Amino acid sequence: MKTEKVAFAAMQDGTQEDYDLLDRFYAANALHQADRVLGWLRAMDGESPYRISRLHHCLQTATRAENDDADDETIVCALLHDIGDLLAPANHSQLAAAMLAPFVSEKNHWIIGHHGLFQGYYYFHFVGQDRNARETYRDHPHYQACVDFCARWDQPSFDPDFKTRPLSHFEPLVRELFAREPGTFY
């Protein structure tokens, strides 16, 4: 099937009909966001220098959040916190946060966007960086929540013996999150 095209070659020349067409296209595309995200997670199930795959790290982080009675949104954020590793390893936190931003609270958006820096507390001193770099945010209202996210869920989640729930367990929560009407929560 041939996709209908806009008439313009420069956005400034677009008409209401052109932008209505784009709106319909992006709305239809959004219906498959959960499928894409789940596919990206599955792509993380490969070789890794860790004792578990990157997917299993994400599953373990989400399992720990669920075990601590975190709310569903926070559990999905725990599951997706490292999804940016696929496209942007150097700034994976910001990529994951940007993907989640229209669907999550400002607090969860901030935590996911900063968890990489906060996680550095555990290893930056081994790679010539300041392990206390997170202290820049000491007065931020979500500082402690990010410290806790890393301490309780992220940094201990490399354990091959931990009883981790499968992706199928979390799939309904992922679908529910991406079925939300996107907003601007950050």
pLDDT digits (tens, 9 = 90+) for 157-177: 999 999 999 999 999 999 999
CA 1 – CA 132 distance, rounded (Å): 55
pLDDT at 84: 94
| Mean pLDDT taken over the chain | 95
CA torsion angle 39 40 41 42 (round to 10): 50
* Superfamily the domain 30-178 falls into: Hypothetical protein af1432 (1.10.3210.10)
Q: What is the CB neighbour count within 10 angstroms for residue 6?
A: 16
Q: Which single residue is written with the structure tokens 């907003």?
A: 183
pLDDT above 80: residue 183: no
pLDDT at 186: 39
Higher pLDDT: 145 or 30? It is 145
Q: What is the CB neighbour count within 10 angstroms for residue 30?
A: 14
Q: What percent of the chain has pLDDT over 70?
A: 98
pLDDT above 70: residue 185: no
pLDDT at 3: 85
pLDDT at 2: 82
Tens digits of per-residue pLDDT, 37-81?
A: 999 999 999 999 999 999 999 999 999 999 999 999 999 999 999
